[in-house]
Amino acid sequence: MRIGAHISIAGGVAKAVDRAKAAGCESVQIFSGNPRGWKIVPFDEAGAAEFRRRCREEEIYPVFIHSPYLINLSAADPEIYEKSLAAFRNDLERSDLLGADGFVIHVGYHRGEGTAAGMEKMAASLRETLDALPDLKTEILLENTASAGSSLGHRFENIAEIIDRAGAGEKLGFCFDTCHAFVSGYDISSAAGLDGTLEEIDRLIGLDRLKIVHFNDSKYGLGSRRDRHEHIGEGMIGRAGLRRIARHPALREKAFILETPKRTPEDDPRNIALVKSFRG
Ligand SMILES: [Zn+2]
Ligand SMILES: [Zn+2]
């Protein structure tokens, strides 16, 4: 198990490696560019090379890129769908340039079109993108989402069906967010609930596809459908529950990435040290 956090790229991607190292990270997740805008920024090849070199020097691996929030590969609106596809493809090319192992993307929202249509659209966009990028090295990792609104991605069976319909085999993996699962009704705070949830992931998606755990406590309760991450051990999953997840044999080889609040500069180092103490 390698432990890291989502780290800011302010001032250039290579700066993220210094910040990750200072916080105690062994692995890292970053945004590849502006997470909130549609504008496609040109590749900074020198910056990417520097990022790869610094990751090697500091032994930071695996490296994950998180997709911009605006991308919705299930969008019913053709303009948003086309913009999403273009941004997705560009970001995957950027991920390869950064030497990333995985690119994390939320399963989209159908906005009234219905779950089946939304899932088919997401699967089609994955097929189309992977066909267009036959040499892509970065693995696409579908993240389970909190079950707000017309979300498709809070149920493991929906994610399994999208992977199936996309027919892309080993190029698609799974990112398991603990906060999102908990607020969607999977009770991973108890021993029995955790075992049941991991069995369900294995049966529907396959634990071999699970490459990264977004390791977050939750401000709100089981099944609350409210997505607010909390510091490790200070939320509703709680310290004992999170410790049990970190020590679960099925997750021993996975990367754990924290997306916990950053209210002070001490927050990341403290949360990371606590998770390191869990693994014993
Ligand atoms: Zn997440
Ligand atoms: Zn979240």
pLDDT tens digit sequence for 225-277: 999 999 999 999 999 999 999 999 999 999 999 999 999 999 999 999 999 99
Confidence of residue 199 (pLDDT cuts 50, 70, 90): very high
Q: Which two tokens stand for residue 171?
A: 């190029």
Tell me the ligand closest to 228's alpha carbon: 2
pLDDT for the residue numbered 69: 77
Pairing of strands 63-66, 217-218: unpaired
pLDDT at 278 over 90: yes
Contact between 119 and 74 under an 8 Å Cβ cutoff? The reply is yes
Residue type, 202: D
Name the more confident of 68 and 134: 134
What is the pTM assigned to this prediction?
0.95
Model confidence at 167, in pLDDT bands (50, 70, 90)? confident
Cα-atom radius of gyration of the chain, to the nearest Å? Answer: 18
Give distance in angstroms: CA of 241 to centre of ligand 1.
18
Residue 98: per-residue pLDDT:
96
CA–centroid distance, 245 to ligand 2, in Å, is 18
Q: Identify the band that residue 121 occupies on the pLDDT scale cut at 50, 70 and 90.
A: confident
Going by pLDDT thresholds of 50, 70 and 90, the confidence category of residue 152 is confident
Q: Torsion angle, CA of 145/78/83/226, rounded to 10 degrees?
A: -20
2-279 CATH choice from 3.40.50.300, 3.40.50.150, 3.20.20.150, 3.40.50.2300 = 3.20.20.150
Q: How confident is the model at residue 78 (pLDDT cuts 50, 70, 90)?
A: confident
Over the chain, what is the mean pLDDT? 92
Most distant pair of Cα atoms in the chain: their distance: 50
Residue 147 has pLDDT above 80, yes or no: no
CA of 50 to the centre of ligand 1 (A): 26
Residue 80 has pLDDT above 70, yes or no: yes
Q: Domain segments of the chain: what residues?
A: 2-279
pLDDT at 110: 64
Q: Which residues are catalytic?
A: 36, 66, 69, 106, 143, 177, 180, 214, 227, 229, 259
Q: By percentage, how much of the chain surpasses pLDDT 70?
A: 95
The pLDDT tens digits of the residues spanning 17-63 come to 999 999 999 999 999 876 567 777 778 899 999 999 999 999 999 99
In this prediction, residue 109 carries a pLDDT of 67
Nearest one of 137, 101, 108, 144 to 4, comparing CA atoms: 101
Worst-scoring range by mean pLDDT, 20-29, 110-119, 189-198, 238-247? 110-119
Residue 209 Cα to ligand 2 middle (Å):
20
